[in-house]
Structure 1
Amino acid sequence: MSDLHRYKNNFVAGGTALATAFAIMHPLDTMKTRMQASTSAGASGSINIRSLFNIETARVLGRGFVASVAGAGPQGGLRLATYEFTKTHILATSPTRSSNSILPSFGPIPASALSAIAGDFVSSIIKVPREVVTARLQAGHYEAPAGHGPVGTTDVVRSILRQDGLKGLFRGFWSTTARDWPFMVILFTTYESFKQYHHHITFPVVGSSRPFTSSSSVLSPIEERVRASIEEEMEDHVPITTFKSTLFGGISGFLAGYLTTPFDVIKTKIMLSSRSGITIGGVAKALYAQQRQMLSANSHGNVGALKPASVFFTGAVARSSWWFCVCSMFFPVYEGMKGFLREQNF
């Protein structure tokens, strides 16, 4: 299979999988965004989750659905196609231990980490505008004028372009990058580790019978490309059950989602802000000061009771649960679609 053919298949599989998962889990994402957007300097120290389960919230759970799902397709396609392409070429060009190359030698897990960053960076051209528009729709950032229907995706895009120009659609780009690079590294390296463990336990012969693994020979660049291509084909043909793919993906998504919640809180604040020049550091300091003020009031001046990190984990349960569900659906669909397209020679 050529690189172009494989890239196309991975693009279709990644786009289908991410759009499907985002569509199903959109209501929970809306709840998480509204929780993070509701924190303000004058708010109480805790968020009343019950207030999210009311008629108003139920009415707005679908806000941003079209923008989110429509953008998730090309975003997932670019991310996964670039991820797989980059991983294959890193492994193909990584020198063997016996070679005298000054270039570093990458194993599957480091290669997955670097490829995850590359895939996320390429997909940011779609991801950041999608998140800016979706977050503002979910949080009710704009009020519909009298006699106007509900604010839609087109209205939000026009408003952003009118106020801030094209750069407004990329508001929070670096805060999103600061959140998603560690997220993607944790997600894909954890999932790949699960897969490698599964392959090793279930099919140990696969790991011991790979071509071009002799430690006494130095491979040419062409042989390295052939080796990486054959190993990727062998790995793709090693079956993994839907249950295990669901479980591996869910655990990986939960872990990555929870650990990167502070970055997500800061990103949401920046995207929803109407002020220009807002920075990651400025938002972080404001949140820290806000938490100190709230907890100082609640603890009657007991400084020892302060827990300033808690504000950075606003919506952590909703976010990590959302990613557990998204990834438990995404990876089985992605693996299934890749297998189907490969068998159909699509």
Structure 2
Amino acid sequence: MSQNEISNHYFQRFINPLLSGACAGLAVDVTLFPIDTIKTRLQSANGFWKSGGFSKIYSGIGSTVSGSAPGAALFFITYESGKYLLGPECLHLNSRYNSLSYMVSASMGEIVACLVRVPVEVVKQRAQAFHMNSVQVLRQTLRQSGWRGLYRGYSSTIMREIPFSMIQFSLWEQTKQSWARYQQITTVHPYQAMICGSFSGAIAAFLTTPLDVAKTQIMLQDFVDGHQISNSNKSVIPIRYFNTIRSIFDRKGLNGLWAGAVPRVIWISIGGAIFLGGYEWMHTSLEKCFIQ
């Protein structure tokens, strides 16, 4: 490959997804933070009003601002690299396997991104549910549980994010391709990618709400009312993921498993439009500017 081809390849696989993902992640998380706070409080074991209701809906935004850009950047670097390595350019597979490559790439992206996202999510959700700022939550979590406390719910987050991203990104890519074929163009415009992102996000959000409820309650364990709970009380919400889902169903039925579904679907539908549409717009714009 020529020097230009090497530079373009490096830009496409790393620099472009890093910059585009960081900007898109920061934009969506800051814009929709109040809806996320309401969703977290609806899913809290303490209930919506005891967790703060509509007050202090920006509690925890500090951790979000510091973590959303690197988390999204890591995701898209991994996702775009996975798509390339598992795509027809490298493996020469039939196009009917494209959905599988999107699912695997999105799963890989989530596993990597959650190394940053989970500590941010733990601090953010505890701040949202217990009327504390991000610094207070971080100090108390480190004092009580050390660094491991910041990864409370890592497995449950992965178990939520992988199914969610497999659904969202395979739907997003396929709807974009279908729309492009219908219009007889190579790629859709960014505003069309935004509509596809909203649709795919809404479907994925609704289907994975029970996983999100369980993840939220696991992350809030050991921190009821901002204080560490004793070992005797920890059995109220079992730590094991599927036991948590069963416990929620036993206590509250299907309504408990789909608690916060409406704000979650609204939040992720709008968020999918901003996140994926913004990513597509930024990605296309940078490509036009820098690809030689």
Shorter-chain TM-score range:
0.7 to 0.9
Tell me how far 1:106 sits from its aligned partner. Answer: 7.0
Judge conservation of contact 2:194–2:278 (CA < 8 Å) in 1: no
Flag structure 2 segments of 5+ consecutive residues without an equivalent.
Answer: 223-228
Tell me how far 1:285 sits from its aligned partner. Answer: 2.7
CA distance in 2, matches of 1:5, 1:242: 20
**1:334 is aligned to 2:279:** yes
Tell me how far 1:39 sits from its aligned partner. Answer: 5.0
Deviations 1:159-182 (A, max 9, x none): 111111111110001111111100
CA distance in 1, matches of 2:133, 2:127: 7
Name the structure 1 match of 2:24.
17
Match of residue 217, structure 2, among 259, 265, 269: 269
Judge conservation of contact 1:90–1:106 (CA < 8 Å) in 2: no
**1:84 is aligned to 2:80:** yes
**1:322 is aligned to 2:267:** yes
Match of residue 102, structure 2, among 80, 95, 112: 112
Judge conservation of contact 2:28–2:271 (CA < 8 Å) in 1: yes
**1:191 is aligned to 2:175:** no
Flag structure 1 segments of 5+ consecutive residues without an equivalent.
Answer: 41-46, 98-104, 142-150, 207-237, 292-307
Aligned residues: 269
Name the structure 2 match of 1:179.
160
Rg larger in structure: 1
Tell me how far 1:83 sits from its aligned partner. Answer: 0.3
Name the structure 2 match of 1:284.
245
SS of aligned partner of 2:106: helix
Tell me how far 1:80 sits from its aligned partner. Answer: 1.0
CA distance in 2, matches of 1:278, 1:57: 25
Name the structure 1 match of 2:206.
258
CA distance in 2, matches of 1:321, 1:96: 37
SS of aligned partner of 1:61: coil
Decide which structure has greater helix share: 2
Judge conservation of contact 1:74–1:126 (CA < 8 Å) in 2: yes
Point out 4+ residue stretches in structure 1 off by more than 4 angstroms.
Answer: none
CA distance in 2, matches of 1:266, 1:202: 42
Tell me how far 1:84 sits from its aligned partner. Answer: 0.7
Check 1:121–1:86 CA distance in 2 against 1; reply closer, same or farther (3 A cut): same
Judge conservation of contact 2:64–2:124 (CA < 8 Å) in 1: yes
CA distance in 1, matches of 2:62, 2:200: 27
CA distance in 2, matches of 1:325, 1:333: 11
Judge conservation of contact 2:35–2:267 (CA < 8 Å) in 1: yes
Tell me how far 1:241 sits from its aligned partner. Answer: 2.8
CA distance in 1, matches of 2:53, 2:261: 19
Matches within 5 A, 1:78-157: 78-91=74-87, 92-96=89-93, 107-140=97-130, 151-157=132-138
Tell me how far 1:107 sits from its aligned partner. Answer: 2.4
AA matched with 2:172: Y
CA distance in 2, matches of 1:36, 1:96: 43
AA matched with 2:116: I
RMSD: 2.1
Tell me how far 1:96 sits from its aligned partner. Answer: 4.6
AA matched with 1:181: I
CA distance in 1, matches of 2:204, 2:192: 18
CA distance in 2, matches of 1:257, 1:268: 14
**1:31 is aligned to 2:21:** no
Tell me how far 1:320 sits from its aligned partner. Answer: 0.8
TM-score, normalised to structure 2, is 0.86
Name the structure 2 match of 1:5.
11
